[in-house]
Amino acid sequence: MSETDELAKALAAVQAELPQIHKTETAQTGSYSYRYADLAAVSRAVLPLLGRHGLAWITRPTVREDGRLVLAYELRHVSGQSISGEYPLPSPTSAPQQLGSAITYARRYCLCSVTGVAPESDDDDAAAASRRPTGRGEWEHAQPRQQRQRQPGREEIIARARQAIADARDQARLDEIESLIRQRESEGAITADDAIELRRLRVARLDALFPAGEQQVIESAAEEWPETAEVPA
């Protein structure tokens, strides 16, 4: 018997009852905008279902022994079985608004990823798909649209994304890359683990560009600091 049999059964029951969650919020990152479901909307739809099936969702900002700030998350079942992990966050010395926005995003992203929630809006997604560039140009803006003839494979996408992160010189570019990572993950072109690794690289690049105390404030999220979040020392 698997160590997570009971948890898996409960999560399967939750997923069978998940309602449709619409993307009602809009974020603007430079010249690109996208729609998303905020943490409050996702939590209202998912947390009561988890509780009904004996599941508890726990997140907390934590400073690891190596000094890195992460969001520790855990999906725990009444049987004692659990699934847990960590999501990278900006430096603990970052500006409060930047940390608050990053923590809110991480809480939403991890909750959706672990439970299988996929907020959607068919009209918006269809319209966005018609505008999405493909191939090398989406990372580098180096080729005209008519020159892009094939869809890159997963490894090629990851390699280009890594290079784009390494070449980024400002926060606006890194925000644009984050949007592209989200697109590629939602399309199934890269896995959730790929996206997490790319985001780790993005956070590391942001820390390298803007050392402690010099980070630019992230204005796109405009979400309040979560009441349940722990303020790192």
pLDDT of 126-154, one tens digit each?
444 444 444 445 555 444 444 444 567 88
Q: Picking from 2-6, 99-103, 168-172, which range would have the lowest pLDDT averaged per residue?
A: 2-6
Among the listed residues 63, 97, 70, 81, the one whose alpha carbon sits nearest the alpha carbon of residue 225: 97
Q: Which residues, in sequence order, are bridge partners of residue 83?
A: 75
pLDDT of 39-77, one tens digit each?
888 888 899 999 999 999 999 999 998 889 999 999 999
Structure tokens at 164: 């784009």
pLDDT interval class at 122 (50, 70, 90) = very low
Query: Helices marked H in the chain — which ranges?
Result: 5-17, 39-52, 96-115, 122-131, 137-140, 154-167, 171-187, 192-209
- Given the DSSP bridges, would you call strands 69-77 and 82-88 parallel, antiparallel or unpaired? antiparallel
Residues 6+ apart with CB under 8 A from 139: 160, 161, 163, 164, 177, 180
Q: Look at residue 223 in the predicted model and tell me its pLDDT.
A: 41
Q: pTM for this structure? A: 0.50
